[in-house]
Amino acid sequence: MNHAIPAGDGILVGGGRSVAFPYTPMAFLAKTDASGNLEWIKNLESDNHQDQIISLVPNGDSFTAFTIRGGVRAPEVDRVDGQVDGSGISITPIVANASFQLARSMRIGTSQRILSVGMGAPSAANPNVDLGVMLMHGGTGLDWMRSYDVGNTYGMRLSGVSALADGHFMACGYLPGVTEFRAILMKVDGDGEVVWCRSYTDVSGGAWFHDVQEQANGDLLVCGTKGDYGGLLARLDADGMPLWNTSPATSRLTHFQREAGMNVVYDVNSRNELTADGRTCFYYDAENLTPESRVVTTASISLSVSTSSTSVASFELLDRPGMLSWNNNCTLTGIPERELSAALSARPNPTTGQVQLGEGGALSGVPYHIRSIMGQRVGSGHYSGSIDMARLPAGIYTIELPTEMRRTRVVKQ
């Protein structure tokens, strides 16, 4: 499951799944009632390998979703529109002249226009470096897609976007690096032209903004991850200059949400209600972020958009019986992030492919996990002298050895 949103009288969920042998990855949509009981689930089988729903956008009794090809960039995504009761689902392929992946999307008012952010569009000269991308889709003659380059050696990735009261938009994300990553905040107009852009560092050795939210007076709340993988909650003025910075003693913060008039921020483990100024009593004050103005080079990406519906030959929508189940009395198992503290070396680092760990043969057969900077598991196996990371996009990853209680950070170029 990649994304879940309130929909109708329940929850709409999107993600990816696989069917038992022969292995067939595919995107899925599902709807539960308010108690989590499954009402319907549909698979979207695709010949162009769009095997995950990455973002969902509500609109009353209807919704819009976007797909990705799991694990890799691709020159196409599919826009999926439908009703929250599972009816009227249609699919619109969107093809660009560059490979990309979307991360999050938002609806423009009550219109059919959707603004999405993500990464991709690498240049021919440097095909392993992702740039930030934004896609506007859904208005006749109003569609556009752009890439954004701030000159960072390891590119730029956008992971969140929010509408502003002045009609502009604020996108957020991060700039990958070898020893640290920097948060990025970029204001654009309705045509995707940059108004201003700033990057931010934290004393922990890095920062990444996952979500941004405008406040009543024009200030900005941002939440995300610090360099030590702890959470970050900060307030900036309307021009992106830091006002204060706080940090939870637990994990990274993922997104904001307004619930029954209350402003709420979520981390990977809990829900936290915010005070009127955006703070919460469970966080401690931290040293302010350090901003840096950035010059952005933009480029237009041509789009080919089809208006085809469910008759698109590469898709077949299949109703499936309810097969999801869970227990509300969950017992969490695993290794707490902060217990994985024993030193572990990796070489070469940065790498373009193979990585060797620690003591070589002494680790033979030890299970490992590879996690993205978001904490998502993107690879697993048993160590046999090296780990192949060639298939992964450029970025910062953590390799964990759970049975050894050890981990290390690796930069993939």
In sequence order, what are the residues at sequence separation of 6 or more whose Cβ sits closer than 8 angstroms to the Cβ of residue 21? none
* pLDDT at position 315 over 50: no
pTM (2 d.p.): 0.72
Task: Please give the pLDDT value at position 340.
Answer: 41
Three-state helix/strand/coil letters over 257-295: EEECCEEEEEECCCEEECCCCCCCCCEEEECCCEEEECC
pLDDT value at position 71? 63
* pLDDT for the residue 330: 42
- What is the Cα 327 distance to its own chain's centre? 27
* Residue 411 CB partners (closer than 8 Å, separation 6+): 154, 176, 177, 178, 349, 350, 351, 395, 396, 397
The pLDDT score that the predictor gives to residue 23 is 55
Q: Kindly state the average pLDDT of the residues 186-214.
A: 92
* DSSP letter for each residue of 133-177: EEEEESSTTT-EEEEEE---TT--EEEEEEE-TTS-EEEEEEE--
Amino acid present at 21? F
How is residue 212 written in tokens? Answer: 């941004």
Over residues 2-13, mean pLDDT: 86
Residue 311 has pLDDT above 80, yes or no: no
What is the pLDDT averaged over residues 10-16?
88
Mean pLDDT of 171-184: 89
What pLDDT score was predicted for residue 21? 47
Residue pLDDT, tens place only, 319-351: 445 444 544 444 434 344 434 445 688 888 889
pLDDT at 30 over 60: yes
Does position 387 have pLDDT exceeding 60, yes or no?
yes
| Range of 67-71, 178-182, 202-206, 218-222 with top mean pLDDT | 218-222
Segment 132-161, tens digit of pLDDT: 999 888 765 568 899 999 988 888 999 999
